[in-house]
Chains A and B, each alone.
Chain A
């Protein structure tokens, strides 16, 4: 059973990855938007390092690299929800539900494809970042942990979007997949460290789970202490909650 399940997961993952690599219109946005954010923020806002109290040692480009890493990874996951919605609209997903021995292989396969997509985007963003002057100050273990955190945040994004796609089965639900994560991302310390945020956004950022991912990621990149335990807690608890959300979505899709 496990072997058949794994075969289905890999099959769906490979199909999605092939579709991505063969269609520039699908691949291009997931590479363009992180680059856009990176260029706009690292290039246009680097003067912010002169703000009193901004003391991130690797510099502003590295500071923004971590944001772009998590943003691109999460949205790489969310984009897979578009594919599922499209597959429901054209009838493929219905046939897939009849074909697989255990239907949990369907979201797992799409999530697997999302992770491959995130790995491609992370590699691309990292190469561009290094060329642009990102400093990997942390140890090799720190950097590996940073990438693992980014990949796990991709899983959170894909599970959320899969849950939406399985329930709505329509591309018209794509704003519901994107907007909550977009808001969460921008209500975290995107431009300056948490300590330099003031007003209402500081209060929200202090309890925003994405803040812990950014702060931990920046700490790992700089080889400094940071809220690592909180970040792992976010991905583990978030993964359990989002996993349940997706499986309930699968149940809803089965009964439609």
Chain B
């Protein structure tokens, strides 16, 4: 067996374990599906009046808000991938695994594989909820595929942040502690109104420098605008950068942990 084939097999084993484990924990997966959908319907109902604001896109608020669910799903990916790995560290499973021929990179990539599967499953549920709520995707089937591509990239990026936190701290509570921070970033973005309609200076500045804004805008453009090359390019670039930085941080944290053990 070649090196590549061995690594692929190891990644598949860890990913399968991660997926099985996630789907065996209803308490972990149900909120990640239900909470964003519930917020979508409630926020879209409560903010429907915003459609009459001058400058608001010529779409329903429900269509406008649908993109936010994918971002919330990505944040849940951070907790999911990281918490499971932290549990493995706390229980000593990772230490035992390090005595086997399993490669460290397979552990990271396998966990991220699990996050990708969960992310795709979540995205399918969000899209189904969107269609049930009457949403239309301006970019059609191609746009749906682009949304999935962005979701995969975001699941890798945010999942890797969770994995890095788990490897560095070995503590599930630290991983869970990332959730409020990411939630703050989510709320300080353009989730509720377009940037042009945010009149408060400090908030507009925060939303402008917040990478979440560009991820939300990229998904949103596919749903309500059509093919907007610049918005998509920026969105994919930021998602890719988060993924690269997250994986690099995970690899560094894994090296440190293995040296300590």
Residues of chain A within 8 A (CB-CB) of B200 are 42-44, 46
The answer to whether the Cβ of B184 comes within 8 Å of any Cβ in the partner chain is yes
A-B pairs with beta carbons under 8 Å apart, 24 shown: A29-B180, A36-B184, A36-B187, A42-B200, A43-B198, A43-B202, A44-B193, A44-B207, A45-B50, A47-B198, A48-B49, A48-B50, A50-B54, A51-B49, A51-B50, A54-B49, A175-B31, A186-B42, A191-B50, A192-B46, A192-B47, A197-B45, A197-B48, A198-B48
How far, in angstroms, from A198 to B46 measured CA to CA in the complex?
8
Residues of B whose CB lies within 8 Å of any CB of A are: 27, 31, 38-39, 42-43, 45-50, 52-54, 180, 183-184, 187-188, 192-193, 197-200, 202-203, 207
CB distance from A19 to the nearest CB of B (A): 17
Contact B48 A40 (CB under 8 A): no
The answer to whether the Cβ of A32 comes within 8 Å of any Cβ in the partner chain is yes
CB distance from A65 to the nearest CB of B (A): 15
* A47-B193 CB under 8 A given contacts A36-B184, A40-B188: yes
The residue in chain B whose Cβ has the minimal distance to the Cβ of A43 is B203
The residue in chain B whose Cβ has the minimal distance to the Cβ of A204 is B45
The answer to whether the Cβ of A199 comes within 8 Å of any Cβ in the partner chain is yes
Contact B53 A51 (CB under 8 A): yes
The answer to whether the Cβ of A172 comes within 8 Å of any Cβ in the partner chain is yes
The residue in chain A whose Cβ has the minimal distance to the Cβ of B52 is A51
Contact B46 A47 (CB under 8 A): no
Contact B46 A186 (CB under 8 A): yes
The DSSP consensus for interface residues of chain B is helix
Contact B48 A50 (CB under 8 A): no
The residue in chain B whose Cβ has the minimal distance to the Cβ of A53 is B49
Interface string of A5-49 (1 = CB under 8 A from B): 000000000000000000000000100110011011111111110
How far, in angstroms, from A189 to B202 measured CA to CA in the complex?
26
The answer to whether the Cβ of A183 comes within 8 Å of any Cβ in the partner chain is yes
Contact A189 B46 (CB under 8 A): yes
Residues of A whose CB lies within 8 Å of any CB of B are: 29, 32-33, 36-37, 39-48, 50-52, 54, 172, 175, 183, 186-187, 189-192, 196-201
How far, in angstroms, from A190 to B38 measured CA to CA in the complex?
15
CB distance from A71 to the nearest CB of B (A): 13
Residues of chain B within 8 A (CB-CB) of A37 are 187
Contact B198 A201 (CB under 8 A): no
Contact A47 B207 (CB under 8 A): no
How far, in angstroms, from A29 to B184 measured CA to CA in the complex?
12
Contact B187 A52 (CB under 8 A): no
**Contact among B43, B46, B52, B192 for A44, CB-based, below 8 A:** B192
**Contact among B38, B45, B50, B193 for A201, CB-based, below 8 A:** B45
CB distance from B147 to the nearest CB of A (A): 24
Contact B27 A172 (CB under 8 A): yes
Contact A47 B45 (CB under 8 A): no
CB distance from A18 to the nearest CB of B (A): 21
How far, in angstroms, from A130 to B44 measured CA to CA in the complex?
29
Contact A198 B49 (CB under 8 A): yes
CB distance from B208 to the nearest CB of A (A): 12
